[in-house]
Chains A and B, each alone.
Chain A
Amino acid sequence: MALEKCMAAIPEFLSKAELLKQGAEARVYRARFLGRPTIVKERFRKQYRHPLLDEKLTHRRTVQEVRSVLRCRRAGISVPVVYFVDYSSHSIFLEEIVGSSTVRDHIASSPPSARCEGLEPLAERVGQVLARMHDEDVIHGDLTTSNMLLRCGPEDGVSELFLIDFGLSYISALPEDKGVDLYVLEKAFLSTHPHTEALFQRLLKSYAAASKKSSAVIKKLEEVRLRGRKRSMVG
């Protein structure tokens, strides 16, 4: 039985899929794959880079993303299931978490007055999940509230917290890297959600309680905070 070769199978498929967003690194599509709602992340070629270098870099980033997702999954962290990876088009086909909203939207839509109190349980859970992730030595690399999804459970309303977008992630045991990961979240959190310092503190407390290696990480976080822009490096 002859199978017609079609080198452009995936690009062809993506041209008909719904483009959700385009970043500097990749395009994200939504489609149906093997009968399931799927998100496809395609890392496209950068024409300005030397082709060999581009290929190596893009391949490495794709590999790191897949490894981090699998590593998180093994640790019991809710992440999308990877259905398929194509290394020639650098595309990752992942489970679409249907019926979810970002933590960002969740926080933004809650009334400002009751914000800190009502969202404390959420902050605690995020802290716990991040602690679990860092204990597995996975550095997310792009922690923001837009990269965390909440999917409502059936009746009792217990929602599941998902981490997504491991495109900048890598494996590291260094407290420095974990501290920076938290710092990135802190900056993103406080700039996206004004007046939520107490909420973030709750998150950090929960993180510290849940992680075995947290003291070194928190210490590094404090050091990193001192390093930022417009900071005096007088130590």
Chain B
Amino acid sequence: MHLTHELELFPGHKVTQMLFTEVKNAAELRQCAVEGKINGALINPTMLVNPFQVLVAANKAVNSQNNGKMKTRSLYSEIIFNLSPTNNISEAFKRFGCSDGDDSVLVVFIHNEDESQLLADLTARVSGRQVPVEEVSSLTDHAKVKKLYKVTQEEEKSGTLLDAVVCRMAAKDVM
């Protein structure tokens, strides 16, 4: 169901993603996140193409934290910021963070030990149905993603949407 990947660059740092649909308490979750009660980032899954996209954002966030070069205040807000193709932090939150009316949410958290307790805590908090993280590609709003990331027509012909998105995320600081 959930997906855990240990970052190759940062051994001991595991990134776990969980996906929920039919979420009824998005507003409450968002509030908890803002207050720091949830140890994770809440992402709007319609803006995601693939779990790999989240891994790329998480890896970059951990790296920035390591170098003391984060642009936002916390590791989790940094992950959300990294997903965005622009450097405007509040816009990133608006588009990629979970909003009050959302009916699906992807939660990602970074930890170093066994995640079962964390998984249980989160499942208890979310009022919704957990589904395999891979299903995020069925929730993708392709049109919105293409528009936001400004994916060109030629690009779509020669590569996948995920390729286009990941490339822009990686190159954001210099474009």
Cross-chain contact B167 with A9 (CB below 8 angstroms): no
* 8 closest A-B pairs by CB: A76-B154, A82-B170, A76-B158, A81-B163, A63-B174, A34-B55, A70-B171, A66-B171
Cross-chain contact A33 with B9 (CB below 8 angstroms): yes
Provide the bound-state CA to CA distance between A74 and B112, in Å: 38
CB neighbours of A36 from chain B (8 A): 52
| Interface membership of chain B positions 138-175, coded 1 if the CB is closer than 8 angstroms to chain A and 0 otherwise | 00000000000000111101110001101110110111
Q: Report the nearest B residue to A67, measured CB to CB.
A: B174
Cross-chain contact A74 with B154 (CB below 8 angstroms): yes
| Chain-B contact segment, one of A83-91, A117-125, A139-147, A202-210 | A83-91
Q: Give me 10 other A-B pairs in contact (C-beta within 8 A), A31-B8, A81-B167, A85-B171 excluded.
A: A6-B66, A9-B66, A10-B9, A33-B8, A66-B171, A67-B171, A69-B171, A76-B152, A82-B170, A84-B170
B71 interface contact, C-beta 8 A: no
Range class of the B interface residue count = 35 or more
Cross-chain contact B170 with A83 (CB below 8 angstroms): yes
Cross-chain contact A77 with B158 (CB below 8 angstroms): yes
Q: What are 23 A-to-B residue pairs whose CB atoms are below 8 Å?
A: A9-B10, A10-B9, A13-B9, A32-B8, A33-B8, A34-B52, A34-B56, A67-B175, A73-B159, A73-B167, A74-B152, A75-B152, A75-B154, A76-B153, A81-B159, A81-B166, A81-B167, A83-B170, A84-B63, A84-B170, A85-B173, A87-B173, A93-B170
Cross-chain contact B13 with A3 (CB below 8 angstroms): yes
- On chain A, the number of residues with a Cβ less than 8 Å from chain B's Cβ atoms is 36
B5 interface contact, C-beta 8 A: yes
| Interface membership of chain A positions 45-81, coded 1 if the CB is closer than 8 angstroms to chain B and 0 otherwise | 0000000000000000001001101100111111001
Q: Is the interface of B mostly helix, strand, loop or mixed?
A: helix
B39 interface contact, C-beta 8 A: yes
B41 interface contact, C-beta 8 A: no
| Interface membership of chain B positions 21-50, coded 1 if the CB is closer than 8 angstroms to chain A and 0 otherwise | 000000000000000000100000000000
B62 interface contact, C-beta 8 A: yes
Which of A69, A83, A88 sits near B56, CB closer than 8 Å? A83
B95 interface contact, C-beta 8 A: no
B59 interface contact, C-beta 8 A: yes
Provide the bound-state CA to CA distance between A13 and B12, in Å: 13
- Determine which residue in A1, A36, A88 has the highest number of CB atoms from chain B within 10 A of its CB, and name it: A1
B67 interface contact, C-beta 8 A: yes
A35 interface contact, C-beta 8 A: yes
Provide the bound-state CA to CA distance between A78 and B67, in Å: 32
Closest Cβ of chain B to A96, distance in Å, is 14
CB neighbours of A10 from chain B (8 A): 9
CB neighbours of A74 from chain B (8 A): 152, 154-155
Cross-chain contact B66 with A3 (CB below 8 angstroms): yes
CB neighbours of A87 from chain B (8 A): 173
Closest Cβ of chain B to A35, distance in Å, is 6
A5 interface contact, C-beta 8 A: yes
CB neighbours of A234 from chain B (8 A): none
| Interface membership of chain A positions 159-176, coded 1 if the CB is closer than 8 angstroms to chain B and 0 otherwise | 000000000000000000
Cross-chain contact A85 with B170 (CB below 8 angstroms): yes
